[in-house]
Amino acid sequence: MNKKRFILKTALLSAFTAAVYFPASLATTMLLYQRKDPDIEVYVQENLEQIIQEQEKTLGITYPTDRPTIYYTLPEEYKIVGMLGLYRGGEDSMYLPSGILTNPESDFSDFMATIATFNNTYNVKRSVDHELAHFYCDKVKELVFQNRSPHFYFTDEELVSQLLVNEGIAEYVENKMNGEDEKPFSFQDWPSNLSQFRNKEIYQGGYAIVKPIIDQHGEKGIQFLLFNPPTLYELFTPEKYQERMLTSIAQLPEKTEPLFLPFRIQ
C-alpha cells in the first residue's frame, strides 16, 4: 500500500471525527514516536552505503564523501503524527522516527505496529531515500555558495517555491528508488493563492513538477531546479515553470559541468 505523508495527516484529522474508532491507534502512534527501534538503527547502519550507491547508479548523481549524522527519534518539537523524517541542513543531520518506521525485510513486531497504528507506519528505506535527497541538495548548495549562502527565504511565496522544488526532488528520489512511477498529477485544481498550498500540492505536486525535468536531465536537472525555483507567477502556473526549465536547460552548453550552472537564468 502506498502510504503518503498527506494520508497520515488525513488519518489524524479523521481521529477527531471518528473518535470511537481511532483513539487506540492514535495513542499507539504517539507512543511509537517516543520509541527508538534498535532494529531500524541496525538496518540503516548496515544499508546506508548501499542505498547511496543505488541512488548514484540509478539517478546518475554523485554524493559528497561525507555522510549525514543520523538520529533515530525526531527532535521533541517535531514528534507530530505524519512526520516521517527530518533533515536539518545546518548540522547535516537526518532524524528518523524509528519507532514508526518499518524494516523492508519486515519482522513481526513491525507488522503488529502497522496494524496497531492503523497504517501510520512507513518503510524506513523510503524515508532514508527521501532524507538523503535533502542531504544531497543541501551539499550541492553548500558547495556552490561556499558557506556564503544567501538567504533563500525572503517571503512566504519564496518559501513555498523552495519547498516545492526541494520536496519535489526528494519525492522524486524516494519514488524512483522504490520502483514507483506515479501517474501524472493533474494541475487542474492547482492553487490560485498561497493559502491553498497543502501537503498534497507540495509533495505530490512538487514531484509532478520536477519529474519531467529530472527524467530528461538527471543530475543537471536537479541542480538547475535547486537554483531556479518557480517565480511568483510560475508558482501558480506550474506548467509554465516546467516549460521554462526544460527550455533553459536545453540551452545550456552541452558540456556544462553539473555543479557550475549559473544560479539563475532570467
- The CA distance from 98 to 121, in Å, is 10
Cβ distance to Zn ion smaller for residue 128 or 235? 128
Chain residue whose CB lies nearest Zn ion = 170
Shortest spacing between CB 262 and Zn ion, in angstroms: 26
Cβ distance to Zn ion smaller for residue 140 or 170? 170
Q: Which of 81, 71, 55, 257 is nearest to 174 (CA)?
A: 55
Shortest spacing between CB 32 and Zn ion, in angstroms: 20
Shortest spacing between CB 130 and Zn ion, in angstroms: 6
* Residues in region 169-188 near Zn ion by CB under 5 A: 170
Per-residue x/- marks for Zn ion, 114-153, CB under 5 A?
----------------------------------------
Q: Taking CB under 5 A as the rule, does residue 235 contact Zn ion?
A: no
Angle (nearest 5°) at CA 54 between 246 and 241: 15
Shortest spacing between CB 134 and Zn ion, in angstroms: 6
* Residues in region 52-71 near Zn ion by CB under 5 A: none
Per-residue x/- marks for Zn ion, 151-170, CB under 5 A?
----------------x--x
Shortest spacing between CB 132 and Zn ion, in angstroms: 11
Cβ distance to Zn ion smaller for residue 26 or 169? 169
Q: How many CB atoms lie within 10 A of CB 11?
A: 21
Report in angstroms the alpha-carbon separations of 40 from 87, 104, 131: 17, 10, 15
| Total residues at interface with Zn ion (CB under 5 A) | 2
State the residues that interact with Zn ion by CB under 5 A: 167, 170
